[in-house]
A and B are shown apart, each in its own frame.
Chain A
Amino acid sequence: MKWKIGNTTLDVLPPVKRYMNAIERHLRVDRKTRVRIMTELASDFQSRRENGQSDEAIMQELGSPEEVAAEFNAALDDETVQPVSRWRWAFVALAAVILLARFILPELFLLQSHTSSIGVIGGADGPTAIFVSTETSSGLWEVLPWLLGCAAGFLAAGWCRRGSGKRYAVPFVLCLIGIVLQLFMVFVLQQMPGLLAGAYLLSQLTTSGVWLCLVVAIWTVWEWRHCKRSGKKN
């Protein structure tokens, strides 16, 4: 099994990979230090193997992944680095559900609401062909704010926590793009007057990705402020 640390790849057995991944997950240090720690741990692991120790014995001697990471965290504690949240995968799941609901399921069940036109070809005694055309391109525009919100949430709960506070700008910008896109669709494409557009947005509380973008944008700002405060304290 291959194990990738930074730009290096090692050949390890699955239990060792799980063990190393668990240590990496529990480390509260910046990316550069994390890669360095993991490479040095891998190098030590290799040295212990060369000394005749089995993988199980090495893992036992090093201690549990939580213990190993806790020792590093206690000595190198960086309060500006928050642990990566497992909830980031919820955003991936949400994006998958949205794509499934918008593109896959309608294709399977040929839902009327997602068809732009239905044509019948044939003579008076019965149709010889029926064609249904779906609105794939406009569908993509509709789900784009959702997908941008999901991508922003995923980054904010993972990648941003492993680096400096400046990283939060990326999910924030993604959310802004999502909101602007949605507003553009409402005001320009559908040519709705202001009040109607507002009502339309409110009516789409559960179906419009703008709300997700809004929530994630606020959360991103909150996380960035928290990161900045911790940095000042240090």
Chain B
Amino acid sequence: MAAGSEQRFAQQLKKGVLEMLVLRFLAENPSHGYELIVRLREKSGGLLELKEGTLYPILYRLEEEGCITSVWNSPDGKVSVGKIPRRVYTVTDAGHAMLTRQCETWHHFVDCVEQCMEGESQ
């Protein structure tokens, strides 16, 4: 596989699982954006290197769908010089239910793909 198409394949896989992974990480521990980026990078050994422009739209969409909620970690959301509030994201009950469903779909999908791949190699 050429380097370009290999990269595209990896990107498409990543795109498909990101929402589930974000929910999974937030279910483990409520976090702010940058913390999530670091955790995803560390856990994936650098494979899931996300940028802010990719992560935040996912978080906004999940919040809009009611799967997560967010609060500023300073009470009024205002900052003084040198102090910046961080928006901490937490998974809701609907988010937990969504994560369970997505995990089931993911495992089913992986099983199917593995079966197909085994069939191909025999």
Contact = CB atoms under 8 A, between A and B. Distances in A.
Given A39-B85, A43-B86, A46-B84, A75 B57 contact: yes
A40 to B, nearest CB: 6
Given A48-B34, A76-B57, A43 B84 contact: yes
Given A43-B84, A44-B34, A71-B54, A9 B79 contact: yes
B78 A10 contact: no
Interface string A72-91: 10111000000000000000
Contact of B79 (A8, A33, A67): A8
Chain B's interface size range is 20 to 34
Given A75-B57, A76-B57, A42 B52 contact: no
Contacts of A231: none
Contacts of A7: 78
Interface in A29-80: 33, 36-37, 39-44, 46-48, 62-63, 67-72, 74-76
A-B pairs with lowest CB-CB distance, top 6: A71-B53, A75-B57, A47-B34, A44-B34, A11-B81, A46-B84
Interface of B: 32-35, 37, 51-54, 56-58, 60, 77-82, 84-87
